[in-house]
Homo-oligomer: A and B are copies of this chain.
């Protein structure tokens, strides 16, 4: 068994997820290392915060530096980026479709063309044409030596009519089957086998979400992701989508909510039964000067009852120019331990890269602590 549940909180659960690079505590949050690096941060700093898994991206790493290089010379992403703990790789599906539009704007070429066999797409940076099949995506992720591998999915943006969503979902299911078959064939004799996750799609339609979940479970995966969220839909849809989908996913397999979310969304997710999260928010918000701050000692917060537990503060504002306080008195990160709000604001105001580095570190510390508090929550 790769997943063991140790305790429940509400409809959620605490557990241990076993991967070939180590056992990880859930619920967990993964910092984003799209291109084999958590922006501005060293792997040792990510590890020091406490994170046990990061997320790399098939699309970006395939294009640059190329997964052949990473496999041939480094035997995978771990050694390339100097991170020995688990890595989950996204399949590239989300990026192919979301960056397709940008390619069209940049190069006047249709960004994406979908066929049964796979997807043609245009590199959004230089206009080069690529073709990726579900089998390619799995092979790339095997080459990257990922610990958790995602199936290639089509990820329509919001809004999407029912017919389009249904057609897309059916293709995604057929692709999921091909991913599974290819994965099984390629890992049959592997001593250290990665885990393969399927991705539930179905836009905002209850029947499609349920069908997607059922069909994936029939194929059978090591874990299940909820995809097609955070693609432009109203935020209140999230709870609905989880309510429709989760009952159809096996209780004994890990569940991963892709690309979300804000702290309160993570809390909702955990209490509903999600085990894994990834999101650009802590690092991206940090780069833009917005830092999360605990309103009270996080060790004393009950996240089930207390909905008002943090602020998000924009430290680019002039009002922090002569603020001697720490960013957050409850935070133990290098920024909060050593520097003032006035200094951080100064660094942002002169465009100093250390500002984004310290802010990213701080927000990642906040997210790690959030997961830790959630793992300690009692009813």
Contact = CB atoms under 8 A, between A and B. Distances in A.
A321 B357 contact: no
| Chain A interface, >50% SS class | helix
Interface residues of A, number: 38
A305 interface: no
Interface stretch (A93-101, A136-144, A346-354): A346-354
B354 A65 contact: no
A180 to B, nearest CB: 31
A334 interface: yes
A201 interface: no
B82 A339 contact: yes
A296 interface: no
Interface in A44-100: 44, 60, 64-65, 69, 72-74, 80-82
A29 B120 CA distance: 55
Contacts of A334: 42
Nearest to A80: B343
A39 interface: yes
A280 interface: no
A198 to B, nearest CB: 30
A342 B73 contact: yes
Interface string A312-341: 000000000110100000000010001110
A41 interface: yes
A324 B42 contact: no
27 contacts: A35-B352, A36-B346, A37-B354, A39-B353, A39-B354, A40-B352, A40-B353, A40-B354, A41-B354, A42-B354, A44-B338, A60-B350, A64-B346, A64-B350, A65-B345, A65-B349, A69-B321, A69-B322, A69-B342, A73-B342, A74-B324, A80-B342, A80-B343, A82-B339, A353-B353, A353-B357, A357-B357
